[in-house]
Structure 1
Amino acid sequence: MRLAFVASAILAVWVVSVSSEEAAAIETPLPVAEPEQVGMSAKRLKLAPSALRAMVDDGKIAGAVIAVARHGKLVLHEAVGKADREVGKPMTTDTIFRFYSMTKPITSTAVMMLVDEGKLGLDDPVGEYLPALADAKVYVSHRGTSVMTDPATQPITVRDLLRHTSGLTYGFFGDTFVDNQYKQNAILFPFFSLEETVNKLGTLPLLYQPGTRFHYSVSTDVLARLVEVVSGQAFNEFLDERIFTPLGMDDTDFYVVEANQDRLATIYAADESTGQIAVDRDPSRARGFAFIRPKFLSGGGGLFSTSSDYIRFCQMLLNNGELDGIRLLKPETVEAMGTNQLPKSSPYVIIGPGERKGVGFGLGLSVVVDDVPGSPHVPKGELGWGGMASTHFWLSPKHDLAVVVLTQRLPFTFQAEAAVKPIIYRAVVDERKSD
């Protein structure tokens, strides 16, 4: 019995990887296993944190946390570098990060829970629940302050919001007339509620006809308001009661509580020419804002969280909607979320200046549908998304694999994901799923 206890303790320490960069052991978010026990190579897997450490040494990021789970077992959970480089604070596996758009899959899960309960239909017109969006108009042209629009040929549906084919836009990603209208009307302003934001959106034209093309947008913020209306709860209360508490996501919220403020990572901005980072000085992202409960509960980008919390959320999805005996979603619902929902006229995700060839979008998650140029290791069916500060996660149902990689680096870049993803897939030496 004593030998078994000692062996278990050694295993836990190896998997959690509490290195000299961490001050104390952290409770593991999932059961732990040696990589070889779940068909992975420990030798190859150790190259992933080494790749992140090289990015730290090169001045590309201050620090990072990586968590890898296979067959429901945590095989790697390691922090490298600094949470705050200037004061020398080490990155730890319980460091809190700004998740930004990694909020979206959680919001989409909330919506799909309501679909499972029969309270929403995927093809329901959103205007039935949010009257401000019932009579949408689509931008055609403008002259001075006069704006020409066409009526929407079909209503915005719940499905459109989940797959970003609503015709809404974001404001800060583009320079179209409609994007500029979003900026002028302070869409996503932190001191407006979800209700006020949706009502403002209802006064502005759509950029595209609903259902015709993927366009990344505030759709998921509208979904957050939809959850409020259908459930009768404030969005944060719904998430706490229905997702965070059942999954044990104790460090996930729309702000950082006082007791946890020293765990928040500093956010950095990279020089466009050199890639070297410095502390982000944008006043809208000042550290103090993270400690204030916001009025705007952004379903598209408002959450703070940790690698431990998010790997549990990922594992729930990999388990077809269940974790530790608690079911959030029906298996067929998770399958639909991970199935490409984009129309043939716009089959791939478009972010910023270009199309992500081979990558479609399901109901709240990206999904690899074809070969991805330059990424031969990426399997079809891989699901995932990221956040503005270069946070990433992906799931491979084929490999029964979940990965979370977190940094705090602006502007968004795939560098950290690209550095470790091929390493992790090469570490899978037995592709069979567990029984």
Structure 2
Amino acid sequence: MTLPQTPALSRRGLLGGAGLLGGGLLLQRWAHAAPTDPRLPAITGLLDDYVRSGKLAGAVATLGWGDAPPEVVARGTGTRGDARPLDENALFRIYSMTKPITGMAAMILIDEGKLGLDQPIADFLPAYAHMNVLVDPAGPVDKVVPATAPITVRQLLTHTAGLGYTIIQTGPIRDAYAAAGIMPYRATRVPLPGFGEVHTAPSLAAFADNLARLPLVYQPGTRWSYSVALDLMGRIIELASGQEFSAFLKARFFDPLGMDSTTFQLAPADVPRFTTNYVVADGRLLPIDGATNSVYLDPPAFPFGGAGLISSPRDYDRFLAMLLGGGVFAGKRVMSQRAVDMGTSNLLPPGASTAGTWIAGHGFGAGGRVGLGDSAGTYGWSGAAGTIGFISKVGGVRGGFFAQFMPSTAYPFDTAFPQAVRSDVRARLLAQHKVAA
């Protein structure tokens, strides 16, 4: 999720360093050697630079491999002026890093036979059986043609269903989405110039119903276009599982993984661990959602499967470790190997175009970008407020970066963090080689 009407909010190059992590040989060698030096100089230097200079109030990075606990680098505080230092238990708005969790929840149901990857979603939501498509993505909403194919589960998981997003779309369809409450995200209680107002449908069922009445932006299966698809996936998960979406996530992920701090609403008791979100403007950090009076203290209109979760570096690392472990965490199976392998593979429909998009040259799996070629085996996504999470199955490595600033493109962490990971991996390998010699 990124904020509406804000310039340069692209995730282009997300995990641009994923290719650095997928180089195979380097990480294969590291994965089979026990780490001997706990220091992470490049990651530490990156965080020190941004926190000491005042560009960030604070940040936390995690780096783990295999089933070992992650190494953690934490600098600064969650709110400028606070005395409490950040650690791996601090709470962050992870925004679109919610999408891989929702995507993997769907993979569980596919593995259990309750959903089909290429099943039309109209089997669960009949209102989607006969959709219309805009003649011009930015044109009038009454200029439409019939959809030439049904929307499928695969297309929801990979942003190829033809759905829109108010943070992406321009023209009348954006206004139509806003009027219908198709705005499944929140950022602040305070109206900000240029950010627009957010009015969200009152329930997940109403969200799905309202969305079905609007035309698609593209023909289903033809183009990758960032969208509200993972939010709609939450409704499909409810109908396929017979559980409320948030209850399903808790039962299948949060409880078995011990993700005790991952939630759609901030508990008052957790305020001391929560961070303040800032907007970067003219080189300054301006608070837009304070830790003590955050909009996340209010219940959301519904659990946003695309951008709604709060989590901690510790918690999200457990989710990543489970994926890296083929569905197993701490000796307990949470997902099947088959479900993980499928969800972290390239699920883009044949012929779907990615030209000119944020994932050009890459694949897309269940809610996250998938590396191809030299970066094969990588999977992950980022969040609008400066968070990043990824795995490299080839090297058995997982990484997380957590800060709170908007727009996420204000600082180049999408490339700088993976580059720091690569540097520290190389340093570790060299040190091990010298010891072995």
**TM bin (shorter chain):** 0.7 to 0.9
**Hey, what's the Cα distance between the residues in 1 that align with 2:44 and 2:112?**
41
- Note the alpha carbon deviations across 1:275-321, whole angstroms, 9 max, x for none: 43221269xx9943211222311000111010011000001000111
* Equivalent in the alignment of 1:201: 211
Distance in 2 of aligned mates of 1:126 and 1:334: 22
CA-CA distance at 1:167 after TM superposition = 0.4
The aligned residue for residue 232 of structure 1 is 242
- The amino acid of 1:387's aligned partner reads G
Cα distance in 2 for partners of 1:110, 1:89 equals 35
| Closer/same/farther in 2, CA of residues 147 and 190 from structure 1, 3 Å limit | closer
What pairs with 1:191-270 in structure 2 (closer than 5 Å)? 192-270=202-280
CA RMSD of aligned residues (A): 2.7
Distance 2:56 2:405 in 1: 6
Structure 2 counterparts to residues 93-104 of structure 1, below 5 A:
93-104=88-99
Which secondary structure state, in structure 2, belongs to the residue aligned with residue 389 of structure 1? Answer: coil
Structure number with the higher strand fraction is 1
Whether the aligned pair in 1 keeps the contact of 2:42 and 2:424 (CA below 8 Å) is: no
CA deviations on 1:120-176 (whole Å, 9 max, x unpaired) are 101110011012222111011599977121111110000000011000011122213
- Pairwise CA distance, 1:428: 2.5
Change (3 A) 1:208 1:37: closer
Q: Distance in 1 between matches of 2:229 and 2:222?
A: 15
Letter in 1 for 2:370: V
Q: Specify every segment of 5 or more residues in structure 1 that has no aligned partner in the other structure, as ranges.
A: 1-34, 372-378
In structure 2, distance between residues paired with 1:213 and 1:118: 27
CA apart distance, 1:425: 1.8
* Aligned twin of 1:320: 326
CA offsets 1:358-380 (integer angstroms, 9 cap, x no match): 32211222011146xxxxxxx33
Cα separation, 1, equivalents of 2:275 and 2:289: 14
**Matched pairs, number:** 384
Q: 1:280 aligns with which of 284, 288, 303?
A: 288
1:335-366 residue CA offsets vs partner (Å, 9 max, x unmatched): 2212222246445486xxx5444322112220
CA contact (8 A) 1:123 1:157 kept: yes
The counterpart of 2:405, out of the listed 406, 409, 417, is 409
- For 2:332, the aligned partner's letter is I
Q: CA deviation at 1:36?
A: 10
Partners in 1 of 2:56 and 2:363 — Cα distance?
A: 29
Number of the residue aligned with 2:111: 116
Q: Distance in 2 between matches of 1:281 and 1:75?
A: 29
Mapped to 2, the partners of 1:130 and 1:225 lie a distance apart of 9
Distance of aligned partners of 1:38 and 1:185 in 2 relative to their CA distance in 1, 3 Å threshold: same
How far 1:82 sits from its partner (Å)?
1.6
2:72 partner SS = strand
Give the one of 409, 415, 428 matched to 2:425. Answer: 428
Q: C-alpha separation between the residues in 1 aligned to 2:182 and 2:327? A: 33
Alignment equivalent of 1:299, drawn from 305, 321, 325? 305
- When residues 41 and 134 of structure 1 are mapped into structure 2, their CA distance, relative to the original with a 3 A threshold, is farther
Query: Aligned to 1:243, what secondary structure does the other structure show?
Result: helix
Q: Answer yes or no: is the 8 Å Cα contact 2:62–2:73 preserved in 1.
A: yes
- What residue in structure 1 maps to residue 76 of structure 2? 81
- Structure 1 CA distance for aligned equivalents of residues 173 and 100 of structure 2: 26
Quote the Cα distance in structure 1 between the aligned partners of 2:315 and 2:159. 26
CA apart distance, 1:108: 0.9
Letter in 2 for 1:410: M
* Map of 1:17 onto structure 2: none
Change (3 A) 1:399 1:177: same
1:231 to partner: Cα distance: 1.3
The answer to whether the 8 Å contact 1:358/1:369 transfers is: yes
Shift of 1:206: 0.1
Q: Deviations over 1:223-264 (max 9, x none)?
A: 101111111111111111111101110011101112111111
Distance (whole Å) between structure 1 residues aligned to residue 420 and residue 152 of structure 2: 40
Shift of 1:88: 4.4
Cα distance in 2 between the residues matched to 1:146 and 1:402: 43
Distance across 2 between alignment mates of 1:332 and 1:225: 23
Instruction: State the distance in 1 between where 2:169 and 2:263 align.
Output: 29
Deviates more, 1:59-68 or 1:138-147: 138-147
* Shift in Å, 1:40: 4.8
Q: Structure 1 residues 207 and 37 mapped into 2: Cα distance closer, same or farther (>3 Å)?
A: closer
Q: Deviations over 1:69-119 (max 9, x none)?
A: 112213511211120014444222211001111111111111111111111
Indicate if the aligned counterparts of 2:221 and 2:352 stay in contact, CA closer than 8 A: no
Distance 1:142 1:208 in 2: 7
Distance 1:349 1:243 in 2: 34
The answer (yes or no) to whether the contact 1:268–1:409 under 8 Å persists in 2 is yes
The one of 362, 367, 381 aligned to 2:365: 362
What are the within-5 Å matches in structure 2 for residues 338-417 of structure 1? 338-343=344-349, 345-346=351-352, 348=354, 354-370=357-373, 379-413=375-409, 415-417=412-414
- Normalized against structure 2, the TM-score is what? 0.81
Which residue identity lines up with residue 294 of structure 1 in the other structure? Answer: P
How far apart are residue 50 of structure 1 and its match?
Answer: 1.9
Change (3 A) 1:231 1:60: same
Cα separation, partners in 2 of 1:316 and 1:250, compared to 1, 3 Å? same
Secondary structure of the residue aligned to 1:84 is coil
Whether contact under 8 Å (1:39, 1:428) holds in the other structure is no
